[in-house]
Amino acid sequence: MAETAADLLPQYKRVTELVIAHFQEPTWTPAFAVAFVCGVEAIKGCREIPKRAMQIRRPSKRATPLQLLHARELLERWRECYTDPEEPDKPPPSKTTPMDFFYWCEVDCEQAEWKPDLLDHILGLIYAPRAGRPLPPVSMYFLEAAKALERYQRLELEGTLSAARLAASTAASGVGKRVTVRRTGKYGKVCPLEAEIVEARSLTPIHQRMDGGAVLAVMLRFAHDGAHPKIERSTPERLLYLKNGVETPYTQRALQQFINERPLGPDGEPLESGAG
């Protein structure tokens, strides 16, 4: 049975995450690089292609004999054909930078009978589009993350502009006291995690964006990943965030109340204040 988009998206999301993680390493062994681009799980620092391994896109399945064969053939080509432009007489290095490897792999595979499974996807992530070529397909995961970042930056900008307007108004009125700008909801309460909730909601499937449990699940991933410094850690039913240096709970009930105060339009985006 042919794989559908619903099958492929999580597979390539995993590939994208691994590219980001592995690119933190300054050098790879050629065997690891070859296995990776051929879609085969391998141990960092390996010198040969493993006899048996799991797939990168589908980690619950074994790498196919063809994937392993392609990996061994590509590693052999590296050892026979790679030359350093600056020192062409030197033998192939025992380690390579990721960018040097993928540049070599792209050139080497231009006239080859087959192309490694993940090469096109990885090149689409690391290269700028070339003149005369169409834009490479972008991971849906990247698109959603970019949209979330744009919303977050817009929220920050709106808050900055509001503070500037209020400061200018205060200065014009001659009032010298310090003014604090606070975002309040229907009940006059300040939401301590508004930016994080807005981002999490944008990453939640449209039909679940009014469901506090679904949005909380995304925020729990934020806490687990450690990418949002305000969120210190989490339990299954609540987030713990830092407030004046003290861990403070934020419950699913509070999150649901916040969401209920901000209905969505038919496109899944929050309605403007007063829209109905």
- Per residue in 114-166, pLDDT (tens digit) is 999 999 888 888 765 555 555 555 555 555 555 655 665 565 555 555 555 55
pLDDT band at 276; cut points 50, 70, 90: very low
Same-domain status, 164 and 258: no
Domain that holds residue 175: 145-181
> Which whole-number Å values give the CA distances from 241 to 30, 188, 220, 226, 229, in the listed order?
43, 20, 11, 12, 9
CA distances from 179 to 162, 173, 195 (A): 12, 13, 21
Q: Establish if 151 belongs to a structural domain.
A: yes
How many CB atoms neighbour CB 274 within 10 A?
A: 5
47-54: long-range contacts (C-beta < 8 A, 24 or more apart)? 48/75, 49/75
Q: How many domains does the chain have?
A: 3
- Which token pair is 93? 């290095």
CA distances from 66 to 55, 56, 73, 102, 104 (A): 12, 14, 10, 21, 22
Residues of the chain with pLDDT > 90, as a percent, come to 20
- For Cα atoms 257, 258, 264, give the angle at the middle one, nearest 5 degrees: 105
Shared-domain flag, residues 20 and 71: yes
Query: Could you read off the pLDDT of 164-216 as tens digits, one per residue?
Result: 555 555 545 444 333 333 344 444 455 677 778 888 888 888 777 788 778 87
Helices (H), the chain: 5-22, 30-37, 65-81, 98-109, 119-126, 140-173, 194-202, 212-225, 252-260
- Asked whether residue 272 is assigned to any structural domain, the reply reads no
Q: What's the whole-model pTM score?
A: 0.48
Helix 194-202 to helix 140-173 angle (10° resolution) is 150
Q: Does 134 map to a domain?
A: no
Same domain, 88 and 13: yes
In a domain, 220, yes or no: yes
Angle in degrees, CA 164, 167, 170, rounded to 5:
150
N-terminal to C-terminal alpha carbon distance within the chain: 45
| Residue 57 domain flag | yes
Given a cut of 80, whether residue 18 has pLDDT beyond it is yes
Is 135 part of any domain?
no
CA–CA distances in Å: residue 226 to residues 19, 24, 51, 166, 194: 19, 17, 36, 34, 17
User: Are 193 and 259 part of one and the same domain?
Assistant: yes
The rounded mean pLDDT for the chain is: 74
